[in-house]
Amino acid sequence: MRLATLRTAGGTRAARLDGDTYVLLDATDVGALLARADWREVAARAGDVVRVAEADLAAVVPRPGKILCVGLNYRSHILEMGRELPQYPTLFAKYPEALVGPRDAFELPPESDAMDWEAELALVIGREVRRADEQAAVDAIAGFTVLNDVTARDWQYRSAQWLQGKTFERTTPIGPELVTPDELPGGVRPVLDLSCEVDGETMQKASTGDLVFDPVALVQYASTILTLKPGDVIATGTPGGVGHARKPARYLRPGSVLVTEISGLGRLDNVAEVP
């Protein structure tokens, strides 16, 4: 099953992708849908349709209660940054104001001269869970989507805490759909090809099989700290190929075309703009 959030004349609506149409569902967005215990049954129902070519896609979960992000979780990226493999996940937060839809423009804040790309697999929680064992963590994963954690490197490294460089408003594309694990090779531990292009040039290319901490392990770890609830998002980290690690460093500029793609999940097509 593939679920999306569409902008309509009457506000946002959750929808199910069905061939070349989206079927509108009885929920304002995917996050609201997942909050229902019977969300799978609701998502399977018939409804009015919108052609894919005419759909205006919002962020797949527009207002998650939590957005947790994982730093340094691909072996290739860890080695690229000159670090050792971690014993525990590196967690930081992002806020909903950072999110934009899969085709929306994203912002380059005028306060930063070092905006960088980070293609990521993101998981979405579908069931409340705390201190999950392995099976509870598996059951809590509603599905996966594509995210680009566009980062202000100059702000990120102002201090040892990364938050300030990670959550500038309207910098984080997410979508196009939430794809349930049963549709993916590897299920809740999907092995998918991930790539990121900037202005037509491939910058990142990896497999999600290179993750140090897989999605199930991340749900177990994060749920030890706090209760994960339906609609919460965990961005699982980015592979090597980021602009900041290049010599010389390379960053996004106004008009840069950012394409983020994960096999089986879809792609984000976003253009950088200065607000």
Question: What span, in angstroms and rounded, lies between the C-alpha atoms of 17 and 224?
Answer: 34
Containing 196, the helix (H) or strand (E) segment is: strand 193-198
- Report the mean per-residue pLDDT for the chain: 96
Per DSSP bridges, beta strands 266-273 and 106-107 are parallel
> Cα 251–253–256 angle (5° rounding)?
105
Q: What is the mean pLDDT of residues 67-76?
A: 91
Q: What confidence tens digit (pLDDT) does each residue in 121-171 have?
A: 999 999 999 999 999 999 999 999 999 999 999 999 999 999 999 999 999
Q: Indicate the range of 66-80, 98-112, 239-253, 261-275 predicted with least confidence.
A: 66-80
Q: How confident is the model at residue 34 (pLDDT cuts 50, 70, 90)?
A: very high
Q: How many CB atoms lie within 10 A of CB 99?
A: 27
- Output the pLDDT for position 151: 98
Superfamily of domain 59-273 in the CATH hierarchy: Fumarylacetoacetase-like, C-terminal domain (3.90.850.10)
Question: What span, in angstroms and rounded, lies between the C-alpha atoms of 33 and 42?
Answer: 8
Question: What span, in angstroms and rounded, lies between the C-alpha atoms of 34 and 41?
Answer: 11
Query: b/e per residue, 148-177, with b = 16+ CB within 10 A?
Result: bbbbbbbbbeeeeebeebbbbebbbbbbbb
Top-confidence residue, 85 or 38: 38
Q: What confidence tens digit (pLDDT) does each residue in 80-116 have?
A: 667 788 999 999 999 999 999 999 999 999 999 999 9
Q: With 90 as the cut, is the pLDDT of residue 77 above it?
A: no
Q: What is the mean pLDDT of residues 63-69?
A: 98
Q: What is the mean pLDDT of residues 241-265?
A: 96
Joined together, the tokens standing for residue 3 give: 């679920």
Task: Give the list of residues 6+ apart from residue 11 with CB closer than 8 angstroms, or none.
Answer: 28
Q: With 90 as the cut, is the pLDDT of residue 255 above it?
A: yes
3-state class of 134 per DSSP?
helix
- Output the pLDDT for position 128: 98
- Ordered by start, the domain boundaries in the chain are 1-58, 59-273
Task: Give the list of residues 6+ apart from residue 173 with CB closer than 8 angstroms, or none.
Answer: 59, 99, 100, 101, 102, 104, 106, 146, 147, 148, 150, 258, 260, 268, 270
- Output the pLDDT for position 82: 77
3-state class of 185 per DSSP?
coil
% of the chain residues with pLDDT over 90:
94
